[in-house]
Structure 1
Amino acid sequence: MASTTTRADKIDRLAELTAQQEAHGGASLWREAFRRLRASKMAVIGAVIIAVFVVLAVIGPWIAPYGPTEQAWRGEVFPNQGRFVGPRGENWFGLDHLGRDEFSRMLVGARQTLLVGVVSMLIGLVVGALVGALSGAAATLGGASGKRLDSFVMRVTDMLLALPSLLLAVSIAAVMGQSLTTVMIAVGVVQVPVFARLLRGSMLAQGGSDYVLAARALGVRRRRIVLTQILPNSLSPVIVQATLSLATAIIEAAALSYLGLGNPDPAVPEWGVMLSQAQRFFDNAPMMSVYPAVGIIITALGFTLLGEAMREALDPKLRG
């Protein structure tokens, strides 16, 4: 339970820091954050990595020199004999165990990897935000029933946070069966408690702001304050977490594909599937594993750098 408390404390701390930052001036928050992001080398590097990844994912199928399933050089590869073709003029990354162009599969696989990461994050964001908003609104509006609802939702969230994220994702994927949709849902469900607790904590922090007290003094209904003021002003940490969760989603989705719980069609290129296929031939063709692994690492690094830079830009303790 110690690890659960630590994760929960970090989430609540991010919500608290954002609320403190917004208390210094709502309109200037994003201008100041954007100014600091432009001056941050970490943010620039992360943004460049993400931009390159997104561009390749979008145009990859059109610029790939060969079809990702085309086995034009199968006669040159003999996996049983440990004979593989490495990088050369017509095949920049060499050939895989079926004689397919590895560079083309990397380009096309980027789209699948991005799709899985984005959809998984959106599932976690939407469901988590709904749960967090419900819990935060119940706690903010007060009342015995609201507090009981908030307590119940948070205890369920804490139980989900107590489970290792990858273990929970594997369990969900194993129950639902092997498919790309299963991977998206499994990884998305893992993200739900993080977004839920983060938004709920941010709403509670906003509940004590001066503008909320002023609105109550003017007789504005609590429900209207929650929906029109507290909730919109509590979304900043959720946006930051969404960026960080993309990195986590890509890694966890690749892990599920590596474990054989991803797309059942091995011909469809996806970096996690490619890594799983390459493990059998690591001794004779290690670069088959290196290419997708490096792609996953660099992409996750880009989202992590940008997310951390956004978090620091919103931290009131780091304001100049």
Structure 2
Amino acid sequence: MPSRTQRIDRLAELVAARREDGEGRGVWREAFARMRRDPMAITGAAIVGVFLLVAVLGELIAPYSPTAQTWGAEVFPNRNVFVGPRAENWLGLDNLGRDQFSRMVIGARQTLLVGVVAAGLGFTAGALLGGVSGAAHTLGGRAGRRIDTVLMRFTDMMLALPTLLLAVSIAALLGQGLTTVMVAVGAAQIPIFARLLRGAMIAQGSRDYVLAARALGARRRRIALAHILPNSMGPVLVQLTLSLATAIIDAAALSYLGLGNPDPSVPEWGTMLADAQRFLGGAPQLAVFPALAIIVTALGFTLMGEAMRESLDPRLRN
């Protein structure tokens, strides 16, 4: 004889199964099947895959040390004399005679680290804040709505500031450093995830499976954690993919403003872009290459996020 908890879970699963299509495929399986046929998703995945490969295998791909000033005698920054792309230096040399291609390859790891950690921090804190707020609003009664009001007013204050301005303010308070950039960019993402998850949970709170679970006497905590929260994560995961692109751009912007890694010898695309501004007249390629890397990488994550969003949209399903 199944227990009451098992009966509740089974009933919730049966009611939620109505969201599946006629062939019995779940929402996520259908979404990934659509993405495999979507040229936008394939293009984005290819860009992100190359970026991840370069970041992970940087030492094996880079032909030279990113800090070695091997060709320093061939560069004269004071006279705007630089070495452009050639056989031994595919992207030319920077102002100190370092191989630009090697610095671009090694710098991809720093950019990936900052972007992933920052987006992960924003996702974790935002999901916690939004999950508590959404559960309190949906199942907490009058007291829960008060908690939801307090949390959302705090979120609204964070949303009142532009994302980059909020990140710059936090970075200015914490001081220069790579950890500061991660915390600042991640904190700027918190209200976005919080608002999105709260809204999704409130929408799920009126679904049939929630009403059935409540009618059978399931505990509120179990309804929120076992049923409402898992069914609300779709839009949040899509936003996480899009936030990776935003985090990479914001991290590069903070490094460009001098709030990133205090060691200038460590390659990072934002820092490389800032250093290149002094030599635009003689060597514009020093700014073009890191700028293109930032743009293309952010574009890859954006294409994947948009493709995932369209695949999960029920209005676009056949």
What TM-score bracket applies, with the shorter chain setting the length? over 0.9
Which amino acid in the other structure matches residue 226 of structure 2? T
Match of 1:269 among 262, 267, 270: 267
1:7-86 matches, within 5 Å, as: 24-25=19-20, 28-86=26-84
TM-score in terms of structure 1 length: 0.92
Q: Deviations over 1:131-189 (max 9, x none)?
A: 11111111111322211110111111112112110111111101110100000000000
Offset at residue 23 of structure 1 (A): 6.3
1:108-123 matches, within 5 Å, as: 108-123=106-121
Residue matched to 1:99:
97
Partners in 2 of 1:319 and 1:187 — Cα distance? 35
1:1-320 matches, within 5 Å, as: 24-25=19-20, 28-320=26-318
Q: Deviations over 1:91-120 (max 9, x none)?
A: 000000000000000000000000000000
Partners in 2 of 1:107 and 1:232 — Cα distance? 38
Unaligned runs of 5+ in 1: 1-20
Partners in 2 of 1:295 and 1:236 — Cα distance? 29
Which amino acid in the other structure matches residue 236 of structure 1? G
Secondary structure (helix, strand or coil) at the match of 2:118 reads helix
Partners in 2 of 1:184 and 1:119 — Cα distance? 6
Partners in 2 of 1:135 and 1:75 — Cα distance? 61
Percent identity of paired positions between Structure 1 and Structure 2: 67
Partners in 2 of 1:186 and 1:198 — Cα distance? 20
1:22/1:29 contact within 8 Å kept = no
Secondary structure (helix, strand or coil) at the match of 2:26 reads helix
**Rg larger for:** 2
Partners in 2 of 1:22 and 1:176 — Cα distance? 48
Partners in 1 of 2:260 and 2:157 — Cα distance? 26
User: Relative CO higher for 1 or 2, CA cutoff 8 Å, sep ≥ 6?
Assistant: 1
TM-score in terms of structure 2 length: 0.92
Offset at residue 45 of structure 1 (A): 0.1
1:113/1:250 contact within 8 Å kept = yes
Gap change, CA 1:35 and 1:247, over 3 Å in 2: same
Which amino acid in the other structure matches residue 25 of structure 1? E
Offset at residue 62 of structure 1 (A): 1.9
Partners in 1 of 2:187 and 2:18 — Cα distance? 32
Partners in 2 of 1:110 and 1:226 — Cα distance? 39
Offset at residue 22 of structure 1 (A): 8.5
Partners in 2 of 1:115 and 1:223 — Cα distance? 35
Which amino acid in the other structure matches residue 176 of structure 2? Q
Which amino acid in the other structure matches residue 147 of structure 1? R
Offset at residue 307 of structure 1 (A): 0.1
Deviating more after overlay: 149-158 vs 22-31: 22-31
Secondary structure (helix, strand or coil) at the match of 2:206 reads coil
Partners in 1 of 2:154 and 2:220 — Cα distance? 26
Gap change, CA 1:203 and 1:121, over 3 Å in 2: same
Deviating more after overlay: 136-145 vs 238-247: 136-145
Moved over 6 A (4+): none
Offset at residue 25 of structure 1 (A): 2.6
- How large is the Cα RMSD of the aligned pairs? 1.3
1:23/1:209 contact within 8 Å kept = no
Deviating more after overlay: 213-222 vs 310-319: 213-222
Which amino acid in the other structure matches residue 69 of structure 2? Q
Which amino acid in the other structure matches residue 227 of structure 2? Q
- Alignment coverage as a number of residue pairs: 300
Which amino acid in the other structure matches residue 100 of structure 1? R
Offset at residue 224 of structure 1 (A): 1.3
